[in-house]
Structure 1
Amino acid sequence: MKNEQIIQLVAEACDDKRAEDIVALDMNEVSLVADYFLICHGSNERQVQAIARAIKDTMDENNISVTRIEGLEQARWVLVDIGDIVCHIFHKDERHYYNLERLWGDAAPVALHVSQEG
């Protein structure tokens, strides 16, 4: 499966758990860390954990390995590493503090097909 398809699956998993402000960035030209970042947030720790677990479950269902998940217990900033794609699931307060979208402002946004009602 191509990275573009995987990032869409991840975005849908986030959207299913009502993640807010889901953003994907194409990191190919700006970073060696990953090809794509997906950034979103939840309004509380339980929602952040549910979003991260939904990503993991979706990847498992599609036979895509998740390299690691960090920060799940505290659920303030959970990182889900899917190899070329790194997902950042923030608690709402931390997202505004770290502001990864501004930090990586040179990265091109990736169009996602989710409801974005948040």
Structure 2
Amino acid sequence: MIALEEEYTPYLSPIFDRKPKSVTALMVSELTSYTDMVVIVEAGSSRQVTSLSEHIIKSLKGLKIKATGTEGVKAGQWALLDFGHLIIHVFETEAKRFYDLEGLWSDAEPVDLSQFNIQAQTDEEDDNGF
């Protein structure tokens, strides 16, 4: 696991404002030429996918950081937010399982996101409502 570089913090902070189910960041700069980091966010519903994506876009716009492209924000299953050196994918749970980007990027180095005080919840806890 590698340490999060300070330049990425403003991009990731808004994600944690909206309580995602899970967040994974992978450093892919050694594996691809089109971006340095891929962030995979799991939202609990299609409504949360849209809300979270819009919140990220609006928050970063307030910092004068504009996405070079966005896709699927209103559809609510999978939103892609492209900031050039960083790409954020926001998935509804079933879509996240289906596309399995963590599996696709299994050779990528995970990024330590512990500074955001993530409270991880296992699938079993989530399924049981605890």
Q: Normalising to structure 1: TM-score of the pair?
A: 0.89
8 Å contact from structure 1 (residues 25, 107) kept in 2:
yes
2:99 matched to 1:98? yes
1:11 CA drift (Å): 2.4
Equivalence for 1:116: 118
1:36-115 residue pairs with structure 2 within 5 A?
Answer: 36-112=37-113, 113-115=115-117
Letter in 1 for 2:71: E
Letter in 2 for 1:115: N
Change in 2 beyond 3 A, CA 1:36/1:97: same
* Structure 1 stretches of 4+ moved >6 Å: none
Identity of aligned residues (%): 27
Deviations 1:31-73 (A, max 9, x none): 1221110111111111111111111112112111211110012
Equivalence for 1:12: 13
Secondary structure of 1:78 counterpart:
strand
- Greater share of strand: 1
Compare 66-75 and 8-17 and name the one that shifted more: 8-17
Q: Which runs of 5+ in 2 are unaligned?
A: 121-130
- Give the count of matched residue pairs: 116
8 Å contact from structure 2 (residues 21, 42) kept in 1:
yes
Whole-angstrom distance in 2 between the partners of 1:71 and 1:32: 23
Whole-angstrom distance in 2 between the partners of 1:9 and 1:20: 20
8 Å contact from structure 2 (residues 38, 87) kept in 1:
yes
Cα RMSD over matched residues? 1.6
Q: Which has the larger radius of gyration?
A: 2
Whole-angstrom distance in 1 between the partners of 2:5 and 2:88: 14
Secondary structure of 1:30 counterpart:
coil
Q: Which runs of 5+ in 1 are unaligned?
A: none
